[in-house]
Structure 1
Amino acid sequence: MFMGEYKHNIDAKGRIIIPAKFRQELGDKFVITRGMDGCLFGYPMTEWESFQNKINELPVSKKDARSFTRFFFSAAVECEFDKQGRINLPSNLREYASIIKKCVVVGVSNRFEIWSEQLWSEFSEDAEANFSEIAENMIDF
């Protein structure tokens, strides 16, 4: 399980350190792709395969299903750690998430997310201000 919030910097080569607690959960290989709300999603291989199986069940005849599948899979990259526990984030993913220098790595149950520090701050402030309403709406699930 992924949880917690960790602030990091991207180096000049586009590398980021993934927290040690997350590296233990991820194993040797994992997947990073575009996420929602302007962040990146990172999945252990077992979670990615489970997600992939669900996506494969979507009807290819539906335009939204095709778009959703393309969005996630076209940007997905398989990652491995270097000896310092870093990964290289491709430029297209950094651009998508507006990550230039400072970023935040956040644990979200079965995945982790990588946010630009600015977008994470904006999201956190909004979520905090509306948390009671968000919690109330979650009852419907």
Structure 2
Amino acid sequence: MFMGEYRHTVDSKGRLIIPAKFRDILGPQFVITRGMDGCLFGYPLTEWNNLEEKLRQLPLTKKNARAFVRFFYSAATECEFDKQGRINIPKTLRTHAALNKKCVVVGVSNRFEIWSEERWSEFSDNVEENFDEIAEDMMDIDF
């Protein structure tokens, strides 16, 4: 399980250190792609394969399903670590997530997310202000 919040820096070549705890879970190869809310999503290959199976079930006749799958897959890339535990994030993904320098790597159960520090601060401040309401709304979801 991925959890925690880690601050790192993207260098001029687009390389980012992934926390050692996450590297242990990810193994030698994993996938990153565009995420929601202006961040990137990272998946171990087993989770990526599970997600891929679910996405295959989406109906091709639905315009939004086709759009989502295209957008999600078009930027997906397999990653490997270098000797320093860094990955190279392609320009397309850095642009999507506005990754310029300071980043936050966040564990979110079966995936991790990569945020620009600015976007993460905005997001987390908003959630913190509304946490009680969000928690109350979650009670309506059947688990």
TM-score normalized with structure 1 length: 0.99
Q: Which residue of 1 aligns with 2:45?
A: 45
Q: Which residue of 2 aligns with 1:122?
A: 122
Q: Which residue of 2 aligns with 1:90?
A: 90
Matches of 2:88 and 2:11 in 1, distance apart?
9
Q: Which residue of 1 aligns with 2:139?
A: 139
CA-to-partner distance for each residue in 1:49-106, whole Å, 9 max, x for gaps?
Answer: 0000000000001001101101110010000000100000001100000010000000
Following TM superposition, by how much is the alpha carbon of 1:140 offset from its aligned partner in structure 2, in angstroms?
Answer: 1.6
Following TM superposition, by how much is the alpha carbon of 1:139 offset from its aligned partner in structure 2, in angstroms?
Answer: 1.2
1:20-39 → structure 2 map (5 Å cutoff): 20-39=20-39
SS at match of 2:123: helix
SS at match of 1:37: helix
Matches of 2:75 and 2:14 in 1, distance apart?
16
Q: Which amino acid aligns with 1:90?
A: P
Matches of 1:140 and 1:46 in 2, distance apart?
30
Following TM superposition, by how much is the alpha carbon of 1:45 offset from its aligned partner in structure 2, in angstroms?
Answer: 0.2
Q: Which residue of 1 aligns with 2:4?
A: 4
Sequence identity of aligned pairs in percent? 70
1:60-99 → structure 2 map (5 Å cutoff): 60-99=60-99
Q: Which residue of 2 aligns with 1:106?
A: 106
CA RMSD of aligned residues (A): 0.4
TM-score normalized with structure 2 length: 0.98
Matches of 1:16 and 1:98 in 2, distance apart?
14
